[in-house]
Chains A and B, each alone.
Chain A
Amino acid sequence: MISTLLVLLTSTLRSSTPLILCALGGVFSERAGVVNIALEGMMLTGAWAASFFTLATGNVYIGILGAILASVIMAGLHALASVIWTADQTVSGVAINLLASGFTEFMAVKVWGTSQSPSANTAPAIFGISLFVYVAFAMVFIVHFFLYHTAWGLRLRSVGENPWAAETMGINVISMKIQGVLLSGVMAGIAGAAFSVGLLSRFTVNMTSGRGYIALAAMIFGRWNPIGSMLACLLFGLSEGLATLFQIWQLPVPSQFLLMTPYVITMLALAGFVGRATAPAADGVPYVKSR
């Protein structure tokens, strides 16, 4: 019984770690008023780059830095289109996800000749739990601190709520939005690395398989704040863990229903049946400085 619980606990932690990191990225971006469905693509790019740089240098930390860099470049494209060129943020996100899935598979085949990389070093495990797990939970509180207890955090949030008012207070709205998007790239990059040099030891094509969208849902269910997002990610991770466990036990509950749960819960939450979720007021609205 205890060993089963332990299996469930570790599998929940494993599934939720990349989700938490990615959802924190979503918090940065959406708090600055930029909708970010490009998280999926950024994370995938990060996963590829982590494997690439780790294999090239033999050092997993350089791999993680490479993942952050690659993901931030993708985030830069998103910032360029949606903040500077005021494109529709969702459409720009779709474009980046397309680019990322094309680019990572192209590069995987180009570099490794197949759709997956050879096995690479992974980040060390402490007490049998990957370093990424500790980083994810630590980041929750770090991000919370920066958002709610620093002047910078107040500025970032004000830009997402009312950019026009923020501008009159002397805040550089465009700059804050770009910072938010780039930081989301940093987090998504770490999340991607958590996949390819953390939980697993190699990159495989499309290995994030929609986790970016789940992270986005978790962030919304968690009401656009770090701690709420973490709790939502743990819940989503638990349903994934249960799905695996139920399959092992051959329980009559179809695994598809457990896998569906996060999405159904999110819809119910948004519809106000499980508490109310409200987005930052100016989320998704391109900001055009009035001349």
Chain B
Amino acid sequence: MPDKAKSWVKEAVETVTVPILAIFVGLLVGTVFILIAGADPMEAYKALFKAVAGSPRAIGETLTSTTPLIFTGLAVALAFRCGLFNIGVEGQYLVALMASALTGYYLHLPPVIHALVALAAGGLAGMLWAAIVGVLKAYRGVHEVINSIMLNYIALYFTHYLLMYYFREPGNRAAATPFIQETAKLTKGLIPGSRLHTGIFVALLAALFVWFFLWKTPQGYEIRAVGLSPGAAEYAGISVKRNIILAMAISGLMSGLAGAVQTLGVSYKFYEQMGFIGYGFDGIAVALLGRNHPVGVIFGALLFGALGQGSGAMQAAAGVPKTVVWIVQGTVVFFVAAESIWKFLRRRRVKAEVKTA
């Protein structure tokens, strides 16, 4: 094998080792809890598989729940590449849900154009919400984690206020905005019987965009340079402030698109949110599993989308509480985060290489 290809393979294997080990430990812990629940693990996993990939409809539903996770995973990954931790995806997602629902209902535009405008509105809302964090970090030195958490709650109450005081559909017992116009809806029916919509293509395009932006443009190079070492980047003449704001804004754009495709492809309205949906926190897990790389993010989103989609079926068919899935997710994040515990593997391998040399 040529040297270049060999090193590429080696790198790829090293990159996926930790996530795969973490998934393995997660499933192990999950199995323990399935046993505690008094269910049969084999039955449970069979039910999970059937619900996730047992029929074309199941596959469609799995891809439907994967779609927003690709966006939120990309959002977290892109911020991570700039050394920023965007824990504010939830809030950015919420304001985008509202923005898309409003533009989807109040505007009257031709098909396709309407959907694109509503998508853009959601993306823009998420972008602005995240940019606040970026600006405060760049110019006032406030840690992004705290401000993102604060803005999550502000978004929760703010959208609730807008819904209750201005945009609630009168005469409807459930607190929700009216349904968006037909022209704003993303096309359905990619797989008959499932809710899969064209948002999945937007998600894949977004992944391609993030990859191209980060690795093929000077601006993306600058963002990664700031992420690796802000001091060195500054010394090399790169504006750290500018890149922090830009990275947060684009990260927010991704979170915003997640909200937009959910509104325009699945829910068709903004309904009362009593708490956070969890796509933002899942996005952190997805990004970590995917090693903050767009390709990895797609696979991570697929795993978490499948787990989320299959958890209900597992509960119905095998009597496994769907909370087991959260425990699995938590365990996976825990072990991916604590990467250094896997280092003994590498150390041993290095030793083996030294011996053979």
- List residues of A whose CB falls within 8 A of some B CB: 35, 37, 77, 80-81, 85-88, 90-92, 94-103, 105-106, 109-110, 206, 209-210, 213-214, 216-217, 220, 254, 256-257, 259-260, 263-264, 266-267, 270-272, 279, 284
Contact = CB atoms under 8 A, between A and B. Distances in A.
A81 B337 contact: yes
Given A216-B149, A267-B136, A271-B140, A92 B329 contact: no
Contacts of A102: 323-327, 329-330
Given A91-B337, A98-B281, A106-B327, A217 B145 contact: no
A179 B296 CA distance: 37
A109 B149 contact: no
| 9 residue pairs, one from A and one from B, having the closest CB atoms | A102-B326, A98-B330, A99-B330, A95-B334, A95-B333, A256-B161, A102-B327, A85-B338, A87-B337
Contacts of B354: none
A95 B328 CA distance: 10
A98 B147 CA distance: 21
Nearest to A210: B153
A96 B142 contact: no
A85 B340 contact: yes
Contacts of B235: none
A46 B65 CA distance: 32
A106 B324 contact: yes
30 contacts: A77-B334, A80-B338, A81-B334, A81-B338, A86-B340, A87-B340, A91-B337, A92-B337, A94-B87, A94-B284, A96-B334, A97-B330, A98-B327, A101-B326, A102-B323, A102-B324, A106-B321, A106-B327, A109-B323, A217-B150, A256-B160, A256-B164, A260-B157, A264-B154, A266-B146, A267-B151, A270-B136, A270-B143, A271-B142, A284-B143
A88 B165 contact: no
B85 A98 contact: no
Contacts of B157: 256-257, 259-260
Contacts of A259: 153, 157
Contacts of B149: 37, 213, 216-217
Interface residues of B, number: 44
Contacts of A80: 338
A85 B158 contact: no
B275 interface: yes
A279 B338 CA distance: 24
Given A92-B337, A256-B160, A98 B154 contact: no
Given A37-B145, A90-B145, A98 B160 contact: no
A35 B143 CA distance: 12
Contacts of A256: 157-158, 160-161, 164
Interface in B318-346: 321, 323-327, 329-331, 333-334, 337-341
A91 B145 CA distance: 11
Contacts of A267: 136, 142, 147, 150-151
Given A98-B326, A217-B149, A259-B157, A106 B33 contact: yes
B36 interface: yes
Interface in B129-175: 136, 140, 142-143, 145-147, 149-151, 153-154, 157-158, 160-161, 164-165
B288 interface: yes
B37 interface: yes
Contacts of B333: 91, 94-95, 98
Interface in B280-298: 281, 284-285, 288
B275 A209 contact: yes
Interface string B200-233: 0000000000000000000000000000000000
Nearest to A88: B337
A63 B87 CA distance: 33
Contacts of A77: 334
A220 B146 contact: yes
Given A37-B145, A254-B161, A263 B136 contact: no
B188 to A, nearest CB: 31
